[in-house]
Amino acid sequence: MSAAAFAEIARLLADYFDGLHHGDVEKFASVFHPKAIYATADQPAFLHRTMEEYLPIVAARPSPASRGEPRRDHIDEIQLAGANTALARVRCSIGGADFVDFLSLARADGQWRVIAKVFQIIEREA
């Protein structure tokens, strides 16, 4: 993997984690391609949202930081498939749940962006 590509993706993921933890929708939105999708099979019915549907939900909920939640996020792996395609496996926590996110990344116009977020919800015991 190119060290430059790895560093660019790691910076993007730092913005991803910052946006989620602090509820900074502008920063969070900058991580995603406008046509990105958000999906999980862990909801009662398969859940699929566009960015237009997902970002207002992030904006409306209290952020983990505002609730005093400890920050728990980690990059497990970044795989580069080529000069313009990558996959990141990351983990984070919000409320009583941990999340494993698979973020498909595409590099367009010289910038990496998340094009798809597919995730697993792992409820923590109280």
The answer, yes or no, to whether residue 8 has pLDDT greater than 70, is yes
pLDDT by residue (tens digit) across 93-114? 998 899 999 999 999 889 999 9
Query: In terms of Cα–Cα distance, which of 10, 31, 33 is closest to 19?
Result: 31
The answer, yes or no, to whether residue 42 has pLDDT greater than 80, is no
Query: In terms of Cα–Cα distance, which of 64, 77, 67, 57 is closest to 20?
Result: 64
What is the model's pLDDT at position 1? Answer: 55
DSSP state of 6: H
Helix (H), strand (E), coil (C) string for 14-53: HHHHHHHHHCCHHHHHHHEEEEEEEEECCCCCCEEEEHHH
Q: Which carries the bigger pLDDT value, residue 100 or residue 126?
A: 100
pLDDT band at 123 (very low <50, low <70, confident <90, very high): confident
Q: Is 7 helix (H, G, I), strand (E, B) or coil?
A: helix
Domain 3-123 has CATH 3.10.450.50: yes
Mean per-residue pLDDT, 47-58: 92
What are the CA-CA distances from residue 8 to residues 55, 77, 87, 123 (Å)? 23, 14, 13, 31
Distance of CA 43 to the CA centre of its chain: 17
pTM of the model: 0.92
